[in-house]
Structure 1
């Protein structure tokens, strides 16, 4: 196992964003978006945040119930980017100022019920929002490859998928890369490979965009919700470790009271690809 250093412990870590020396994270039960380096907390009342993204002006885009909120940590200015009836999980920049994002049925999850179907949507730089794919079981981690022509997508409880992306962001025929029911978070390395975490897996799986397994990395815990690259050379690897029993508590609507989750850092075997930023005009 690689040399992992524990950075912080909590109830259930999920959202993760690395911006230089700033590590932003979310604990879905505690609420808020927290900066590990400075101790700053923004949107303290916002819970069940599974995804974070950054805009070109430094504002954080924060997924969760009702859609995507934004907040500028430097000014505390905030607002709503897009409203979605059920909720939003993960997001990724599209390379043209907008983003892809996945919806999830958060109201049902909070009631302890089986959630309804998810969708993949696109939000253009000008605010135009459209549905690209409906009827997914549960939308989770996603990434756009360096060419902008393949969208990699974790359909939790089923498999890791790939979609060809057309010039208008339309998604082509879905392909299955890996049957992995617990697929969760995702990050790309500079070689174009996807590092996949599992909410019931104690290792990361590295896949090519065509589904070939490149490597596996043992983790310091039984499950992982998210993975990100960072550091000056993009070779620091950060993971959110959780207890699978706590994932079941979330699904059942049962409170999580123990501090079984932690964020760890290690050195990656290959540098990560930089996370793209959106270019929305906020405020």
Structure 2
């Protein structure tokens, strides 16, 4: 594969930029700054970025109907109205362990919101499924930093990242029932020490994963074989999303949180948003 080069498209200097979501109708990129409690709306055509101030760590978003976005806020799932900025809480979770909050999430083809949590202690995080009828279901336990997730092209395989042990898992997925089973390790980066973070699936079924502490985004085949890496000028890329009119642009968020002054000097653009022109396209994402 040819090596794409990255372009810095937004000097955001986010603390923890995360969860980029491409809105094909608006041709805009939505993303969050977790610890600044913000949902951002970036317009690549104008370079303008506006944001909505929320009241809790803002870890994940998915598109919803009627000009709204579904947001994971600390221990709540809420709707953000993009016209008014109003936030309506839909569900509040009493996590089984303290010092736990929601983390990354995505919708499946049936419009169900899959959302993981992150815990300070090992194996105290979980994966949930929030359905359009308002019900919440625990789908996996024993995780630590439930992160990037997605589905294979045929919908038969579910991918889930646990960043702390440096693993990407694959599961069998039953689309009708909305269930997962038979967890196995697809990608193991524990020997390298980098942490897989958010991911996206392209139009040929490969997984693109942001590698925290890896200065890059990596591409893996559906069988877990590493195919290539895109080098970045930041130490901690966090997540990826395909966007643009033809879905051939890869948007990448990044973080500055936790970096020393020396590390920030080495990666001066930490927290910014980047874009790579790709030779493969992505897929339209699902909404809630």
Question: Scaled by the length of structure 2, what TM-score is found?
Answer: 0.82
Separation in 2, partners of 1:101, 1:29: 18
Match of 1:18 among 22, 40, 43: 22
SS of residue in 2 equivalent to 1:50: strand
Distance 1:215 1:3, change over 3 A: closer
Match of 2:106 among 88, 92, 98: 92
Q: Which runs of 5+ in 2 are unaligned?
A: 95-99, 261-267
Q: Which runs of 5+ in 1 are unaligned?
A: 109-113, 250-257, 279-283
Residues 145-167 of structure 1, C-alpha deviations (whole Å, 9 max, x = no match): 23222110111111010111124
Q: Residue 33 in 1 paired to residue 39 in 2?
A: yes
Per-residue deviation, 1:75: 3.8
Q: Cα RMSD between the aligned structures?
A: 2.2
Residues 63-114 of structure 1, C-alpha deviations (whole Å, 9 max, x = no match): 2311222112024343123222342111111211212111223xx5xxxxx4
Separation in 2, partners of 1:259, 1:235: 23
Does the Cα contact within 8 Å between 1:162 and 1:209 map onto a contact in 2? no
Does the Cα contact within 8 Å between 1:157 and 1:180 map onto a contact in 2? no
Partner of 1:197 in structure 2?
210
Partner of 1:3 in structure 2?
5
Partner of 1:119 in structure 2?
126
Separation in 1, partners of 2:66, 2:105: 17
Per-residue deviation, 1:169: 1.8
Greater share of strand: 2
> What pairs up with 1:48-197 in 2 under 5 angstroms?
48-85=57-94, 86-105=100-119, 114=121, 117-158=124-165, 159-166=167-174, 167-181=176-190, 182-197=195-210
Separation in 2, partners of 1:191, 1:205: 15
**Number of equivalenced pairs:** 260
Separation in 2, partners of 1:259, 1:220: 7
Separation in 1, partners of 2:69, 2:248: 23
Distance 1:97 1:28, change over 3 A: closer
Question: Scaled by the length of structure 1, what TM-score is found?
Answer: 0.84
